[in-house]
Amino acid sequence: MGVGARKVAAKAVSPHREYEPYLEAKWGLKNHWYPAAFTHEVPDKLVKGVMIAGHEIALRRGKGGKVYALADRCAHRGVRISKKSMCLTDEHLTCWYHGFTYGLEDGVLKTILASPDDAQIGKTRIRTYPTHEKNGMIWVFVGDEDFKPVPPLTSDLPMRVPKEYDPNPVAFILDDNTFVRGIHRTGDSNWRLAVENGFDPGHVLIHYDNVFIAATDRKLALGWQPKSPEAVEVIDLPEGPKGIMNRYDPHLNLYNYINENAVTGMKVYGKQEYYVRTSMWVPGVLLVEHWPVTNWAQYEFYVPIDDTHHEYWEIIVGHCNSEEDRKEAEFKYTNFFEPLGLLEFNNRDLFAREAMQDFYEKMDGWNQEQLCKLDAVVVGWRKLAARFNRGIQAPPPGADRKD
C-alpha cells in the first residue's frame, strides 16, 4: 500500500447517520475544484454561462488568453450576463442590458457605458472565482469567496498512479504529452446518485448485454462481491487527494467474481478476462484504469448543478508522445472510444441514475434504501466524502421558493 493509505472493512454497514454531512450535501460539496467547460467552448469574445453547485458563473477570456470566472448576475438588475456576449475590451466583462462593466481580475464595477460618472463606479462588484486551464479543460474553484488558501487542483483529482500500484500506470490528466478528450452532458439526477452509480460494484449488470462488451468478447461479471477487508482501500495523501479504491485485480483474490446466478440461470458470455481498477475521489471524480482499453483511462466527473441535476463529464486520457501517437489516438477516440464507450456504454449509467431520482427525491430514499453486501464500497465512499469535504454547499437564496 502507498504512503498515507489505509484499509477499511469491506462489510455492509448500517447507513443510519454515519455519514450525516453527505446526506446534507444535496447541492454538492463546496470549496472544491470542478470542471466548468472545455477550452473550445470558451473562445475569444464569447461569454459562457455555467452553473456549479447552485453558483451561476460566467466564463470569458481576457488578456493573454487567460480564462476568468465571475458571478453571472449583473449587480444592477440581476440579469445573467452570459445571456448575450458583450466583450468590449480584454480586461472587462460588460453586461449587455445597461452596460455595467466589471474588471475581469477583481469584479469591481469600472464604468457604466451611458453613465461614466455614476457614483456606483468603484463601489459595486460581483464576485470572482479562481480558474485553471490545462489540456483542453477549464476548472473553477467553487465555494466560499473568502476560503483561503485555495488548494491546488491536484488535491481534487485522482492521485497519479504510482508503479507500486501498477507497473504500467495510466496517464495523469494534467501531464504534458497526454491525450485528453471527452464530452459532458446534463443528467437528471442528484450528483450523489451519479457518483454511487459510477463506483457501485453491482451496477455492471446494466452493461452485461452492451454492444461494446459483446463486440470485444469481454468477460464482464454480473457483479463483484467483496470478501476481504483488503478489497477496499482508503487513500489519504497528506495535502493531497482523498479517495477510495476497489482493488479488483483477480490475482489478489479480494472479490468474488459473480459470473452466474443459479436461481435465474443467468450467466456472462464473454471469454476474454479483462482487468480494470476503479477509484472514487473527493469531491466526486471516478478513475477507471485500463478502460476502455489497456493503458488508457477514463475519468468521470459528477459535477453538481442543483439538487436534481448534475453535469456528467466523461474524459478519455492516454499517453501521447508523438504526432503519430496523437493521430492514432484521435482515430480511436472518434471511431471507438466516444461512440461505443462514452455514449453507447455510458448511456446506460445515465438511465440508471435517473431512474433512482424519484425514490431519493420524493420517497425518503436515503432512509428507505435496503443496502446489501455489494454496497459496502458505496458506504465507504459516503463516509469518505463526509469526512474529507471542505464544506457542504447550502441552497442558493430562493432555491426552495414555490412561485
d(CA 81, CA 47): 8
Give the CA dihedral 142, 146, 151, 153, nearest 10 degrees: 30
Q: Is 0.85 surpassed by the pTM of this model?
A: yes
pLDDT tens for residues 302-315? Answer: 999 999 999 999 99
Please compute the mean of the pLDDT values over residues 25-33 and round it to a whole number: 98
| Per-residue pLDDT at 390 | 97
| Same domain as 350, residue 317 | yes
| Same domain as 115, residue 218 | no
Of 20, 23, 34, 62, residue with least CA distance to 311: 34
203 pLDDT above the threshold of 90: no
Please compute the mean of the pLDDT values over residues 183-204 and round it to a whole number: 94
| Same domain as 202, residue 113 | no
| Same domain as 340, residue 301 | yes
| Same domain as 360, residue 240 | yes
d(CA 88, CA 94): 7
| Same domain as 51, residue 17 | no
The answer as to whether 154 is a domain residue is: no
d(CA 349, CA 195): 10
| Same domain as 375, residue 272 | yes
At residue 243 the predicted structure's pLDDT band, cuts being 50, 70 and 90, is: very high
Kindly tell me the sign of the dihedral angle through the C-alpha atoms of 162, 165, 168, 170. Answer: negative
Q: Give me the chain's average pLDDT, please.
A: 91
Asked if 237 contacts 10 with a C-beta cutoff of 8 angstroms, the reply is no
| Same domain as 75, residue 218 | no
pLDDT tens for residues 37-73? Answer: 999 999 999 999 999 999 999 999 999 999 999 999 9
| Same domain as 247, residue 102 | no
The answer as to whether 400 is a domain residue is: no
Asked if 156 contacts 36 with a C-beta cutoff of 8 angstroms, the reply is no
How many domains does the chain contain in total? Answer: 2
Last residue of a domain, one of 132, 152, 173: 132
pLDDT tens for residues 307-337? Answer: 999 999 999 999 999 999 999 999 999 999 9
| Same domain as 174, residue 125 | no
At residue 16 the predicted structure's pLDDT band, cuts being 50, 70 and 90, is: low
| Same domain as 335, residue 193 | yes
Query: Which range (61-75, 261-275, 276-290) has the least confidence?
Result: 261-275
pLDDT tens for residues 99-132? Answer: 999 999 999 999 999 999 999 999 999 999 999 9
Q: Max CA-CA distance within the chain?
A: 80
Residue ranges making up the domain that contains 46:
32-132
| Same domain as 260, residue 329 | yes
The CATH number of the domain holding residue 301 is: 3.90.380.10
Last residue of a domain, one of 132, 153, 172: 132
The CATH number of the domain holding residue 65 is: 2.102.10.10
